[in-house]
A = this chain, B = another copy of it.
Amino acid sequence: MMAEVEIKTASEQTRARLLDAAREVFSQHSFQGATVREICRLAEANVAAVNYHFGSKEGLLAEALNFSQLTALQKANVTADACPKIRLRLFLRDFMLMLLDEKHASSQCRIMARELADPTPALDQIVSEAIAPLHEFLGKLLREIVGNKVGEAELRRCVYSIFGQCQFYRHSHPVLQRLHPKLRYDHKEIDAIAEHITDFSLAGIKQLAKKSG
């Protein structure tokens, strides 16, 4: 890396402000619900800035996507010196923190969650760059735990079972808030959730290995 990364022209600064604002707004509203004007207001830029710098609202969304946090998490886990079961536990804790922590929850994850319900052209990018590698990562990790006797389709369903549990807490947050108004996603609660998902899933996986083995 060069030292010059810190020096930005005025143009680059507005670009960066727009991207930050876009991530914020797109994570709170659906793509349709988010307005260019609100993004520009938040970025303190002119309405025309989006089209000037990114061509269109869609182009802005495409550039606002950034999965570095997610890939870093996987890389760290792969190189960790621990047995597969513990690595699953570590991964789920980190993943749920990224998904739920109100402090530094990844706006990327929120945007991804929205794309599922109401896909835009950006979903193709999200799937190929983020979700596909993520599923492959967890699939390999589970394979280490479960051995070679379990079929590919059944293993995949275990991956789905785990991500399904994880995503539930993000997707259904509006519902859970109404069911249990006291619920807060603080660090302690997130840890407890991750622990539950890990224990629950490890049992489910073992049962599968036993049945097939």
Contacts and interface: CB of A to CB of B under 8 A. Distances in A.
In the complex this chain forms, how many copies of it are found?
A: 2
A110 to B, nearest CB: 10
Interface stretch (A13-21, A96-104, A202-210): A202-210
A59 interface: no
Contact of A116 (B128, B172, B205): B172
Interface string A117-140: 111000110011001100100000
A32 B32 CA distance: 7
26 contacts: A29-B118, A30-B32, A30-B118, A32-B33, A115-B174, A116-B171, A116-B172, A118-B118, A128-B178, A131-B175, A157-B193, A160-B168, A160-B169, A161-B168, A161-B196, A163-B172, A164-B164, A164-B165, A164-B167, A164-B168, A164-B172, A167-B172, A199-B207, A202-B207, A203-B207, A203-B208
A117 B27 CA distance: 11
Given A127-B178, A161-B200, 10 more contacts: A124-B178, A157-B196, A160-B169, A161-B168, A161-B196, A164-B168, A164-B169, A167-B168, A203-B207, A204-B204
Contacts of A76: none
A44 interface: no
A154 B200 CA distance: 11
Contacts of A131: 175, 179
A158 B30 contact: no
